[in-house]
Amino acid sequence: MEARPPGDHADLEALARRGRLLVIESVARAGAGHIGGPLSAMDLLIALFFRVLRIRPDEPGWPERDRFVLSKGHSAIGLYAAMALRGYFPVEELATFDAAGSRLQGHPDMTRLPGLDASTGSLGQGLSVGLGMAMGARRRGLDNHTWVLLGDGEMQEGQVWEAIPVAAKYGLGNLTAIVDRNGMQQYGWPLRLDERHRGDRRDPFGDTAVREAFEAFGWRVLEIDGHEFGAIIAACEDARAAGTGVVPTVILAETVKGRGLSFTEGAFEWHSRVATADEVEAARAELGEEPA
């Protein structure tokens, strides 16, 4: 195989395209599920599972592994696609997504699928779970890192704002939150994309308020393009390097809801929608069917 120039992430881009198609196909087969959130997070998930997380897919319970919590649990199919591509289980098993008895439930169930560190789906809880993991790792002298992926709509949940100061108080530099900042949530309530709210200081989730709030609570904030693999990996390396310190890191990742397909990008109705047979074909045409 030809060596790739440094900074070239063609392999990750191909994996992300494959992951996005698996999301569309799996949700279509199940007849239910989420699309917009899994697609906005796919580049983050691929970067994490292929470049960042210290994991052993063939030994999912390895005690020294990094911990990963998908706090925005409704994006489970995106996580399953990344895990399957990484070798946790056969890609074919994605065909059981959301079926009765499947290990791949509509929201992640850690009691069923080895490799999941948390059961999630009720928004707002994952950062608290992750901070407990990070605290436990400190107490046991582990040098692993805990990563929590949140939605920007999810940032409205009160429990998130309890976990943020507690993580700083306990000096958990080994904890990193990543916010998938796609600017949309379920029914289209605009966080930032609506001009009426842009720069509006009464909107606590406006352009700069989330950054300032994290900083006020003593976190270090990195802002990146959440679809640019080089930026994602660099930010995560930076966060890991801070792991022995006492300041937790948040990575605010600018993303596009439904990213990767012309007809799902920025479209609220694709938050939770099932592709028709024609739309699945259109997705195959756009994303390509070649194996990653």
Ligand X SMILES: Cc1ncc(C[n+]2csc(CCOP(=O)(O)OP(=O)(O)O)c2C)c(N)n1
Give the interface with ligand X as residue ranges (CB under 6 A): 36-37, 40, 72, 74, 121-124, 151-154, 180, 182, 184-186, 257
Rounded Cα–Cα distance for residues 24 and 262 (Å): 13
How far apart CA 152 and CA 206 sit, in angstroms, is 11
Question: Which residue's C-beta sits nearest to ligand X?
Answer: 151
| CB of residue 4 to ligand X, shortest distance in Å | 30
CB of 271 to ligand X, least distance (A): 6
User: Among residues 240 and 273, whose Cβ is nearest to ligand X?
Assistant: 273
Q: Please identify, using beta-carbon distances, which residue of 117 and 180 lies nearer to ligand X.
A: 180
Contacts of 80 (CB under 8 A, 6+ apart): 26, 94, 97, 104
CB 204 → ligand X: shortest distance, Å? 15
CB 164 within 8 A of CB 217: yes
Alpha-carbon dihedral sign for residues 154, 18, 233, 183 = negative
Structure tokens at 190: 């605009």
223 and 254 Cβ atoms separated by less than 8 Å:
yes
Q: Please, which residue, 43 or 154, has the CB nearer to ligand X? A: 154
Residues 6+ apart with CB under 8 A from 204: 213
CB closer to ligand X out of 122 and 276: 122
Q: How far is the CB of 87 from ligand X (least distance, A)?
A: 26
Q: Measured from the CB of residue 205, what is the shortest distance to ligand X in angstroms? A: 10
How far is the CA of 141 from the CAs of 135, 144, 145, 242, in angstroms?
10, 9, 12, 16
CB nearer to ligand X: give 150 or 168: 150
Cβ closer to ligand X: 105 or 185? 185
State the minimum distance, in angstroms, from the CB of residue 149 to ligand X.
Answer: 9
Using the minimum distance from each CB to ligand X, give the nearer residue, 26 or 40.
40
Smaller CB separation from ligand X, 121 or 132: 121
**Identity of the residue numbered 228:** E
> CB of residue 41 vs ligand X: minimum separation in angstroms?
6
Q: How far apart (Å, rounded) are the C-alpha atoms in residues 128 and 167? A: 9
Query: How far is the C-alpha of 51 from the C-alpha of 231, rounded, in Å?
Result: 12
Q: How far is the CB of 143 from ligand X (least distance, A)?
A: 30
The candidate with the shortest Cα–Cα distance to 48, out of 65, 35, 25, 73, is 65
Give the 3-state secondary structure of residue 168.
helix
Structure tokens given for 29: 């087969």
